[in-house]
Amino acid sequence: MGAPDKLIGGSFFSLLFTKQKFGVIIKIQTYVLFKKGVNVVLERDNIVMHIDVNSAFLSWQAAYNRQMGMEEDIREIPAVIGGSEERRHGIVLAKSIPAKKLGVKTGESLMEARQKCPNLKVIPPSYDVYTRASRKLRDLLAEYAPKIDVFSIDECFMDFSGTRDLFGDPEELAHRIRKRIKKEFGYTVNIGISTNKLLAKQASEFEKPDKVHTLYPEEIQEKLWPLPVGELFMVGYRTVPKLNQLNIYTIGELANTDRELISGLLKSHGRLIHDYAWGKDASKFSEKSSMPFKGVGNGSTIHFDVEDRLTAHKILLSLVETASKRLRDEDMSCRVVAVGIKNKDFGYHSHQRKIPVFTNCTHDLFEIIRELFDETWDGSPIRHMNVRFTDLERTKFKQLNFFQNEYSMKMEKLDMAIDGIREKYGKYAVIRAEYIDSGLSPVLGGYPNDEYPDMSSIL
Ligand SMILES: [Mg+2]
């Protein structure tokens, strides 16, 4: 569990000046005693907060629609953000509260959702909007927290350890952040406060929306233990029945079951969730918290079999368009480029290359992707393709590249101009001529979770 509470009465430090004058070393030592008032304040060493956007995609879409002047608030009607209904992947990505009340669930097919709610409004996702909203949120949080770890597109951990002098009471601070997000961005969040990441995350899961909750170690028994065991982080739907067989239904029952028994049943995963039930989590904030991305990937399952090289190139270009823009949105450039191809019998081939210079230019990245594809493809019908850019570096620290030719510099300027137009007027406002009447989407791509390296079992 977190570090012990600390009593603070005053602090003490020394300044040491060393000065050499006329060959004689003069040392001046100054002692300063800060007095922090008469009352002794009980202060914790570690304060961690977890912030979670309530129904993120739907909230961001609603806030965006309002900014665009639309009257209807999709949060107040049965509505979902969902993939294309005609194509293969039509699932509910996020739902409004009225849709939830009608039984609509995240992850179910749009067809199932429609059966429960015939007048359901289905809005296709605008990943560009969500990426920007996520980045804006992180920028705002960075004004407060010295360290931020991104957990997923709509969840961050913030380390406030040792900042009480700066920000005061953590709960009041969390409410200030919550209210500011609501006022400036127009959507709601939940914030959980504790002494480690696990407990902060569990706290943000309590009653939603627009709430701040604490779950300090001394509150575990009262607030965490009565909950169903499936609500504990890392206890998935496959683990729940196994625990139920041992008569474990609540988190408290898991905590109070013999550790060896759980370990015998579920091995290291069992030991992990047993620790979690006691609120034990030793995960640290990453040192590179300013760089949340390890890589950007983009892939698409195609709704027909691709059998010719030119069509494949066009689809790859549309994937690169989205993925390279995402790099530019994050001020990142990459040095490792990879392509993956799945054929209709689900055979998978991938190929990657390290390039001499960091880039985020659509044109340059596509040239490499096309070469890699041509070297890899055996001519069999293709079902799925993906591109991936890794080994990232902040673009603003990019060294001047003397080898870059004039054409590629022009292409970078073109990227900036196209990005600007697409942000303002939508992603189809400018498209490449080869896509006209091709039946292909000129800009493809979703927002796969694997872009976030921390979106895994490890906090
Ligand atoms: Mg969320």
Q: Which domains does the chain have, with CATH numbers?
A: 6-43 (no CATH), 47-224 (3.30.70.270), 232-287 (1.10.150.20), 295-451 (3.30.1490.100)
The rounded distance, in Å, linking the Cα atoms of 354 and 113 is 45
Give me the residue label for tokens 């931020």: 148
Our answer to whether residue 219 is catalytic in this structure is: no
Tens digit of pLDDT for each residue in 74-131? 999 999 998 766 655 688 889 999 999 999 998 888 989 999 999 999 998 888 788 8
Residues near ion ligand 1 (CB < 5 Å) are 52-53, 56, 154
Six-digit token pair at 436? 């006209």
Task: Give the phi and the psi of residue 47 in degrees, each rounded to 5.
Answer: -130, 120
Tens digit of pLDDT for each residue in 231-277? 999 998 889 999 999 999 999 999 999 999 999 999 999 999 999 99
Question: Residue 293 has what pLDDT?
Answer: 62
Tens digit of pLDDT for each residue in 210-233? 999 999 999 999 999 999 999 999
DSSP code, position 326: H
Cis peptide before 209 (omega within 30 of 0): yes
What are the distances in angstroms from CA 271 to CA 69, 260, 378? 52, 8, 46
| Residue range 337-361: mean pLDDT, rounded | 88
Question: Residue 29 has what pLDDT?
Answer: 33
Compute the C-alpha angle 370/374/376, nearest 5°.
115
Residues annotated in a binding site: 52, 154
Candidate from 25-29, 173-177, 218-222, 387-391 with smallest mean pLDDT: 25-29
Distance 271 CA to ligand 1 centre (A): 27
Among the listed residues 155, 321, 330, 451, the single catalytic one is: 155
